[in-house]
Amino acid sequence: MDSSFYFGFCAAAITFFTLFGTIFFMFYGKQKSHQENKTIASSPSSSSTLSISSTPSSLSRNRKHDVFPSFHGADVRKTFLAHILKEFKGKGIVPFIDNDIERSKSIGPELVEAIRGSKIAIVLLSRHYASSSWCLNELVEIMKCREELGQTVMTIFYDVDPTDVKKQTGDFGKVFKKTCKGKTKEDIKRWQNVLESVATIAGEHSRNWDNEAAMTEKIAIDVSDMLNRYSPSRDFDGFIGMGAHMKEMESLLCLDSDEVRMIGIWGPSGIGKTTIARVLYSQFSESFELSIFMENIKELMYTRPVCSDEYSAKIQLQQQFLSQIINHKDMELPHLGVAQDRLNDKRVLIVLDSIDQSIQLDAIAKETRWFGHGSRIIITTQDQRLLKAHGINHIYKVEFPSAYEAYQMFCMYAFDQNFPKDGFEELAWQVTKLLGNLPLGLRVMGSHFGGMSRHEWVNALPRLNIRLDASIQSILKFSYDALCDEDKDLFLHIACLFHDEEMVKVEDYLASSFFDVRQRLHLLAEKSLIAIEIFSTNFTRIKMHNLLVQLGRDIVRHKPGHQCIREPGKRQFLVDDRDICEVLTDNTGSRNVIGILLQYISGELNISERAFEGMSNLKFLRFHGPYDDESDKLYFPQGLNNLPRKLRLIEWSRFPMKCLPSNFCTKYLVELRMWNSKLENLWQRNQPLGNLKRMDLRESKHLKELPDLSTATNLEELILFGCSSLPELPSSIGSLQKLQMLSLRGCSKLEALPTNINLESLDYLDLTDCLLIKSFPEISTNIKYLMLMKTAVKEVPSTIKSWSHLRCLEMSYNDNLKEFPHAFDIITKLYFNDVEIQEIPLWVKKISRLHTLVLEGCKKLVTLPQLSDSLSQIHV
């Protein structure tokens, strides 16, 4: 065998193994944290939410109707029932209607089929419900389906007391006794049993509602929410080979066992480990008390808040884990024993994705005894040794797909079905063989060929053959080469600088460089070169698979027409740490450089005072910097003469100087993010800040002064979290009409807010740990989230009564604030952690929309009064 061919073959094989199996990578959904809602009140006399009497997993069978209503027509058909059916229709809920069924003393097969064919049964108990043996027999069948099939049963007590239903007393009992005359003892006993059972299902009580329209609307919303939860997930339909993966994984999970089990999913990058874990989580999370899917944990190690040692890193990881799994935002941990204390009696499902260091497992799931009986912890990793070292012996190795599975995968993306269209059979096989069963290649190329005519396929195949001679990676480059020049440039920007970044920020950064950035990003998504993950209406993130990231960076490194390989200072983007250090030390940067991303450096870096002098077109400067003061450092031995005038983004963690260069230009600046800096002030003179949208100076403990911000007319976020030396805010903040977020948490020397604040756009205000702030100024605002933890605030301004948008109020660890306006009744979440109160304040009892109340650590609180009917979660 020819030696050059042999070594070329080996190199290709290694690349193949590394790239293989990423057909699923674009499907990753947002992180989910699940917690069961607890019914607040279940006694007959108290109001509560509608009770769910079965689990969603039991409702996977096909159903003909969404809802089966059981009712006595004379009581409710023309009134309450008519209203609720109208609400159902408006929300697309399909009820069973029995108008065409002839009623008799017993229910026939048609009605039994209707009951069993409905997802939810609603029993509408009214005064004369028990006057009909038809209704009673209907109820027997409903409760039978609840017991045998796990059907959900909801109750509505319409002008009747649940106790009368349970014990057959009062007017309800009188009606029931008349119905029982002449009936057999067996019938009577059966009816008594089902009435007693159905009365114990907590439900809505019409006597607790002043407004019947509001009651019917709430019931319809509850039903709609249940139907959403019960709908079987189709997110992973069509994933070739997933059935075999699930069969193997279910045997490893052994869900019937009461032991706590850790399971590893092991395989190379992109082979589908995360997707397998996603499917498992989708199928089984609802059957656990608490569940969480933590993705890309290895990335958290590089984006976590600054930590001085390994212990602090573990605290940060455990804090993020707990805050998500128990739905407690911004929680603080005093030590690493909290996870065990909070979860050792809970049956939990935990998925830890992309683990690559033992510290991550030690922080989140060090031992099985941390979790309650029956818990399952699933870990995905490329490192089998890490699993073995943690004592994990239940390991699933993800194998490569077969040739036929690869063919089906390609067809799914090219034709939206797992077989080709007529006339494309041989062409599809040729492309699949050329791709060598590489799942990422199958996806990218399938998306590329999708929609093309047969003639276009035939013309493209020879070029694909030629490209494959170079290396496996050229498969990925094929779709890149098909882009226009501007879209190629955008792809390189994402790969080198903005992978895993918020979409709205990328649009802001690139608005002056590209026409219609959003449309071009969606085009890249359609070509499967990026994924656009929608977490909420206000949060969308751009994701690019790490292999495509590497492709983009290799293109920049080997760009033709420039001596980019040997002279990194002539490249468009600098992303390699060693290259960046060379350019900044030797002052070899050129006007070609438009972006720098420095992730991490080893040891000290002495930067030339003229380091940025030649980079006149630099727009994006991202120095993530070292994580602590004692290890790696950036030095400017002779200072820093200038920063390029065209900068739009500066992200520089631990900036080592007291002030930015005197000639620093802010004209084009969109975002300034300088965490843990040594800055004492930013700049001395007034600067044009019309493009600035975000300023984040968190943990800049030496900052003593903010500049005049009167020209920052588009500023949306101002984050000063942990700026503990800042004594005051500039009065110009009061004129920032687009400011949405103002975080002053930990500004311990700040004594007051500017008196002229009138921020109608402000959405989020955090004054946590502002120990010297004792009062608010009069603020007209639309704040939704107000944080007053550990403050000296004793009262709030009278204008707070007009804050009609406030939804979340955090008052934990705050004993100073004693009163709050009664008109403040639109809050939905209220936190009172560790507050020295003996009873719930009167104004809390009057909050009509409150659904979450947290009272953890309130040791002096003795009793809970009857609170809002809307309250669905309470943590004590």
Q: Report d(CA 807, CA 831) in Å as an integer.
A: 11
Are 831 and 854 in contact, with CB atoms under 8 Å apart?
yes
Are 365 and 262 in contact, with CB atoms under 8 Å apart?
yes
**Structure token digits, residue 148:** 């045998």
Q: Where are the alpha helices (DSSP H) in 391-516?
A: 403-415, 425-434, 439-449, 454-468, 473-481, 485-493, 503-510
DSSP notation for 406-426: HHHHHHHHHHSSSSPPTT-HH
Cβ count within 10 A of residue 28: 19
**Structure token digits, residue 77:** 């058909």
| Number of alpha helices (DSSP H) and beta strands (DSSP E) in the chain | 27, 29
Are 240 and 233 in contact, with CB atoms under 8 Å apart?
no
Strand partners, 125: 157
Q: Report d(CA 236, CA 849) in Å as an integer.
A: 36
* Cα radius of gyration (the chain): 32
> Strand 290-294 relative to strand 33-35: parallel, antiparallel, unpaired?
antiparallel
Are 285 and 277 in contact, with CB atoms under 8 Å apart?
no
* 182-187 contacts, C-beta under 8 A, 24 or more apart: 183/133, 187/133
Cβ count within 10 A of residue 664: 19
Q: Report d(CA 368, CA 574) in Å as an integer.
A: 44
Is 219 exposed, middle or buried, given 0-12, 13-18 or 19+ CB atoms closer than 10 A?
Answer: buried
Ramachandran region of residue 729, left (φ > 0), alpha (ψ -120 to 50) or beta?
beta
Are 464 and 448 in contact, with CB atoms under 8 Å apart?
no
Q: Report d(CA 230, CA 56) in Å as an integer.
A: 5
Are 37 and 873 in contact, with CB atoms under 8 Å apart?
yes
Q: Which residues of 308-340 are buried (b: 16+ CB within 10 A; e: fewer)?
A: eeeeebbbbbbbbbbbbbbbbeebebeebebbe
Q: Report d(CA 252, CA 273) in Å as an integer.
A: 15
Give residues with Cβ within 8 angstroms of 147, minimum separation 6. none
What distances in angstroms separate CA 612 from CA 354, 587, 668, one per listed residue? 36, 7, 17
> Strand 539-543 relative to strand 501-502: parallel, antiparallel, unpaired?
antiparallel
138 is catalytic: yes
DSSP notation for 585-597: HHT---TT--EEE
Are 296 and 273 in contact, with CB atoms under 8 Å apart?
no
Catalytic residue among 87, 138, 141, 204: 138
If we measure between CA atoms, which residue out of 230, 344, 346 comes closest to residue 289?
A: 346
If we measure between CA atoms, which residue out of 496, 487, 423, 485 comes closest to residue 455?
A: 423
- Catalytically active residues, by annotation: 138
